[in-house]
């Protein structure tokens, strides 16, 4: 097992698990390993119980000839990298039908028919298209009060990024661009400051400083990003936004 990959995955899975949104009730196991900066069988076992995240790792791994916790695999899922472009869309389509718990087959069919080759096994794609597909299916007006709620859920649940502007004992001030719904379309809004939690006991946050780019998940700073990772998370987020907007528009485009 790739310890670095396991820890990267755990960093991004930690906060939604702590909030009770996904994964088993073993948040203490994840936290202990993150603070000790080491993997272990109990951590690996816990991470394998996530009903969506771990199956996505298996999909990316088996279609690109890797192990599920090779560093590049969780990096692809949470942040984005070139492995996403190597996963055949038919494999992703089949996976979404057969291995994702709770997905409506009609919803899956509509998503892939609409977004086509823009589909990527990226966490942000999964988040945005889950909400966008539900909005299309349920038929709410995206110009009403529901729009703000949908956009806020998408923005919290996706993995975003921000630049550190201030460092506190357990919180950071970051500048980031939220996703909002504007005229029935998802867009990245203007930059704004927000306060997020972080854990100085988790490497490399003991030395985090102003100007560092960080990944964010449910108002928690997960990782200090390299320039390559910052480029990729921006790139694939825009791909995901474009795909979700096809679905919101009810387009029959095949993604070309």
At 143, the pLDDT band (50, 70, 90 cuts) reads very low
Q: Is the pLDDT of residue 166 over 90?
A: yes
Q: Is the pLDDT of residue 114 over 50?
A: yes
* Each residue's pLDDT tens digit, 222-239: 999 999 999 999 999 999
Q: Is the pLDDT of residue 47 over 70?
A: yes
Instruction: Give percent above pLDDT 70 in the chain.
Output: 92
Q: Is the pLDDT of residue 253 over 60?
A: no
pTM of the predicted model as reported, rounded to 2 decimal places: 0.92
The residues with which 160 forms a beta bridge, in sequence order, are 216
Distances (CA, A) of 40 to 30, 37, 44, 48, 204: 10, 10, 6, 12, 19
* pLDDT averaged over every residue in the chain: 90
249 or 121, which is more confident?
Answer: 121
Q: Is the pLDDT of residue 255 over 60?
A: no
User: What token pair was written down for 124?
Assistant: 């942000």
Q: Is the pLDDT of residue 56 over 50?
A: yes
At 144, the pLDDT band (50, 70, 90 cuts) reads low
Residues spanned by the domain of 95: 1-256
- Which H or E run contains 175? strand 171-176
At 135, the pLDDT band (50, 70, 90 cuts) reads low
At 134, the pLDDT band (50, 70, 90 cuts) reads low
Lowest mean pLDDT among 13-27, 159-173, 174-188, 215-229: 13-27
Do the beta carbons of residue 10 and residue 75 sit within 8 Å? no
**Taking residues 45-55, what's their average pLDDT?**
94
Q: How many domains does the chain have?
A: 1
Q: Is the peptide bond before 204 cis (omega within 30 degrees of 0)?
A: yes
Q: How much is the pLDDT for 24? A: 85
Helix axis angle, 3-18 relative to 53-64, nearest 10°? 150
Taking the CA of residue 223 as centre, how many other CA atoms within 13 Å lie in the half-sphere pointing to its CB? 23
The residues with which 216 forms a beta bridge, in sequence order, are 160, 221
At 138, the pLDDT band (50, 70, 90 cuts) reads very low
């Amino acid at each position: 097992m790739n310890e670095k990959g396991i820890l990267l995955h755990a960093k991004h899975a930690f906060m939604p698990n702590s909030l009770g949104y996904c994964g088993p009730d073993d948040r203490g196991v994840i936290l202990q390993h993150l603070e000790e900066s080491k993997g272990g069988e109990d951590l690996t076992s816990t991470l394998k119980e996530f009903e969506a995240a771990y199956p996505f790792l298996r999909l990316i791994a088996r279609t690109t000839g890797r192990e599920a916790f090779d560093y590049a695999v969780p990096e692809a899922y949470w942040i984005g990298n070139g492995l996403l472009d190597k996963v055949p869309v038919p494999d992703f389509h089949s996976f979404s039908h057969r291995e994702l718990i709770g997905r409506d087959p009609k919803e899956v069919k509509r998503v892939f028919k609409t977004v086509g080759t823009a589909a990527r096994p990226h966490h942000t794609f999964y988040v945005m298209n889950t909400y966008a597909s539900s909005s299309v299916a349920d038929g709410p007006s995206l110009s009403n009060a529901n729009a703000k709620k949908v956009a806020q859920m998408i923005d919290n649940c996706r993995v975003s990024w921000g630049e550190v502007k201030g460092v506190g004992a357990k919180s950071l001030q970051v500048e980031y661009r939220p996703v909002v719904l504007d005229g029935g379309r998802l867009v990245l809004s203007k930059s704004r400051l927000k306060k997020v939690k972080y854990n100085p006991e988790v490497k490399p946050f003991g030395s985090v400083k102003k100007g560092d780019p960080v990944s964010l998940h449910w108002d928690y700073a997960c990782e200090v990003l390299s320039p390559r990772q910052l480029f990729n998370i921006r790139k694939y987020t825009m791909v995901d936004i474009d795909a979700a907007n096809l679905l919101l528009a009810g387009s029959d485009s095949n993604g070309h």
